Chains A and B, each alone.
Chain A
Amino acid sequence: MLGLGLGTILLAGIAAMVQSGSQNLPGRPLARGGSMLFRVLLGVGCTIGALPALRVLLGGATTDLQFGALSPTGPWVFGLDALSAVFLLLIFAVGVASGCYGFTYFASPAVHGEADSAQRSIEAEPSGVAGAHALVALLLVSLALLVVARAVIPFLIAWELMAMTSYFLIVFDVDKPEVRRAGLLYLVTTHAGTLLLFALFAAWGRGAADLSFASLAAVTLHPRMGDAVVLSLALGAFGLKAGLVPLHFWLPEAHAAAPSHVSALMSGVVIKMGIYGLLRVIALLGIVPAWWSWLVLGLGVISGVLGVVWALAQHDIKRLLAFHSVENIGIILVGVGIGGLGLAYHHPRIAMLGFAGALLHTFNHGLFKSLLFLGAGSVIHATGARDIERLGGLSRRMPRTAAAFLLGSVAIVGLPPLNGFVSEWMVYRGVLHIGLVTDISRIASLAGVALALIGGLALACFAKVVGILYLGSPRDPVALSAHESAPGMTWPLLGLAGACAGIGLLPVFVLPPILRAAAVVVGAAASDPSVTSTVAADVDGSAAMAITALALGVTVAMLIGWAVHRIMVGRRPSKTKAVRRRETWACGYSTPTARMQYSASSFAAPILAHFQPVTGIRTHQTTRVFETYAGDPVLDGFVRPLWRAWRDIANRARPMQRARLSTYVLYLVAALLTLLLYLLVDGWTT
């Protein structure tokens, strides 16, 4: 079933290629049909692929697939359990939205702006676009294979396939040097991650019969060091992919360079594979040492706070959203850390809450972050501008996009009644519960403070984004030329928005499957009666009901209020009480202009002032302008210098290869003499 779905998605990719190929033919015979075909195949494929995942999540039996010994490292195993199913659903949901969006995004003419990716390249290279669509399809397939792989070799292959395809998607706009630089940075980082994975599995598979996950789980690791090594390597490798601070440095560059629907896929799904990896490793190990959980919790807190602070400092909409991915990864890791502590200190219920919160937030973030990136893409597509300081008042010109984006913002800030709130609520509950235990792990409840701070900062940041981008009046001519984007681009947005709202309004239907997935991670402990009873009674019982009721209640209240408001305002018993339109009251100043509006820089300044040491912001302030530029402290402060140092070593060594022949012979003789010395030292005859 899954295979069938994947096959269909591949077909969609091929269809895209064929269709573009036909574009070179005179009269573009297949142009229209081809695009339809691509979308239909993609949709059908994702649906078919999602079905088995749904079945498993709704309590169906988990399936396993075995392919005999393809390589000396044992059979290839594929399996589908609840944990995989959650990610599979995410992949297909975001995949179909981004795929369809991308098709219109590239097909419909875009404004030639500072930042728009598609158009020139299309004119240059029609096959390039088709390649992009095919790559999207391939990326989805590799992602799906990754989450169902149950042996090292297929896992690594799917992993690298994912990395390569996303690299080629990132550098879609190859004619821009900065895009190529960002792509190279991404590629190098992800390759380093792959090498860490090599180390991880080499270390883990040391005593294993073969390299299937089952035998890895059966390995008895070195009592003290074993799981420490495995978990550290896993944190490094998967952390690089997930982009947790300080391993996030590649993420803003890459996500900003990619076409928007690719950024949506990257930020919504690809980086989540790091989370999947961590959870899978925990599930396989069964046990998690306390120190590791503390470490993850700490990294989560740091990533969350720094991520949102850095995001607040950005004015490039895509970089801003990218840093928010870092923040949300932080929140997810807080959940993972709490869950790990729950395992380490034998509080299975807390473990369930933590992992369930992390999983649900992963899923939710996938939805609303891709929604936001697609919304940003529509804005860039319409205005050609990525710097929010130049935009404004777009909600009048692109109302549907604005509405969807606003909804996404409410969701990512974690406000009721949307899905972001539900998942953060789960994590919070884990935090509160762990505060009530008797052992040392209750200190972890203080992580909630970080969550609260993150919430406040995120609210500020998205107030800034929505307010500056969509509200107010246009700050720059580019915003005046904006237009609502084609249905092909708005529908995916609205679909994702609907998903966010759905999860937010009816969590009672979402929590049980998520808990099933969390049970996979918690493993044996999940089956002990205390958990099952409490979970059943409490988590997907009254609490879920109540929060569902809350969400619905709040929504209903707002709707009623809105209706009342319409009546109050709308009724016109006499002329004096009519609704009148005037320009904004400027406190007596007679001729306000759009340039006078509050800028994003000044909006964020008062908060950032209190985080100055970590923001890495350079402020440019004169009597006339107030602007801030934000780099990335880790990238500029650590990674680049390190690389320069190595390059200097290389340059110093270069003359060794410029010597004359006799010197080369001298190297040879030197090697020989060294060996003879070793021979004498080692003992001549013994």
Chain B
Amino acid sequence: MQTPLMWVVTATLRLIWTVRAASSPQGAPALVLLLVVLSNFAVLGTTRLSTCIRALAFQGLLLGVLPLLLASSLSPHILALAVGTVVVKAIALPWFLRWAIREAAVRREVEPLVGFIASLLLGALAVGLAFAVAARLPLPEVRTELLVPVSLATVIIGFVVLITRRKAISQVVGYLILENGIYLFGLTQAESVPFLLELGVLLDVFVGVFIMGIVVFHINREFDSLDSARLTELTD
């Protein structure tokens, strides 16, 4: 069990370094960020929860990689951050989610409050808005000018998913996307302010532990479905 994991990690790192060496200093991060946006759209567009989760895991992986690409030098701090991020965002949380939908035996997001096409359009709108705003932001100097707009876009899309989806799981996914957006913004501060990104990861841990570990499980048990729309008993 130990060795294969180590092997995977070292292999990935070697791969990343080769990409980084090969491409221009701007190219690689930009590419990754574009992939992030694409994963967002994947979440917005799919009906299958499993696809959502896969996209989320992929996004987590990209987020884990980014610090390495952006870092000027491969400090152990950055390395630890990358590993932690990948472990939490790309492995632990998706695994939790899969476990949850298996428990709850839900497969697809039926009838979201806003149709998939509409939410895709919303996503596009979000990206446009994000870029428009970011263009007028007095940006701190960062590796790539794509970083801030993409993070904002991800935040907005996270909100879109949160608002337009019914299933508790989808809402969790939306929330995690929101988190990822914030994490991306945190990258702009990675150098100047230590620990910020760790905070972001910590938040994920917390959410993972709670929302997944306890609540969703119980929702499944109590409500035999993950439809949070059923959670409307408490009213005035």
Contacts and interface: CB of A to CB of B under 8 A. Distances in A.
Contacts of A666: 163
Contacts of A661: 171, 228, 231
Given A669-B159, A684-B136, A685-B138, A662 B164 contact: yes
Contacts of B136: 684
Interface in B206-236: 228-229, 231-232, 235-236
Contacts of A662: 113, 162-166, 171, 228
A160 to B, nearest CB: 30
A640 interface: no
6 contacts: A654-B235, A657-B236, A659-B232, A661-B171, A662-B163, A684-B136
B207 to A, nearest CB: 15
Interface residues of B, number: 16
Nearest to A653: B236
Nearest to B175: A665
A658 B159 contact: no
A665 B163 contact: yes
A658 B162 CA distance: 18
B236 A660 contact: no
A128 to B, nearest CB: 34
Given A659-B232, A662-B166, A669-B159, 19 more contacts: A654-B235, A657-B236, A658-B232, A658-B236, A660-B166, A660-B229, A660-B231, A661-B228, A661-B231, A662-B113, A662-B162, A662-B163, A662-B164, A662-B165, A665-B159, A665-B163, A666-B163, A684-B136, A685-B138
Contacts of A658: 232, 235-236
Contacts of B166: 660, 662
Given A684-B136, A685-B138, A660 B232 contact: yes
Contacts, number: 33
Interface string A642-674: 000000000000100111111101100100000
A669 B175 CA distance: 13
Interface string B163-178: 1111000010000000
Contacts of B231: 660-661
Nearest to B160: A669
Interface in B27-63: none
A490 B232 CA distance: 64
A678 to B, nearest CB: 15
B235 A669 contact: no
Nearest to A661: B228
Choose among B136, B138, B162 the residue with the greatest number of A CB atoms under 10 Å from its CB.
B162
Contacts of A659: 232
Nearest to B235: A658
B224 to A, nearest CB: 18
A416 to B, nearest CB: 63
A663 B171 CA distance: 12
A60 to B, nearest CB: 61
A685 B236 CA distance: 43
A659 B113 CA distance: 13
A654 B231 CA distance: 17
A661 B162 CA distance: 9
Closest 3 CB pairs of A and B: A658-B235, A662-B163, A657-B236
Contacts of B229: 660
A671 to B, nearest CB: 12
Nearest to B233: A658
B95 to A, nearest CB: 25
Interface in B115-142: 136, 138
A654 B163 contact: no
A669 to B, nearest CB: 5
A182 to B, nearest CB: 28
B105 to A, nearest CB: 21
Contact of B163 (A657, A669, A684): A669
Nearest to A659: B232
Interface string B144-185: 000000000000000100111110000100000000000000
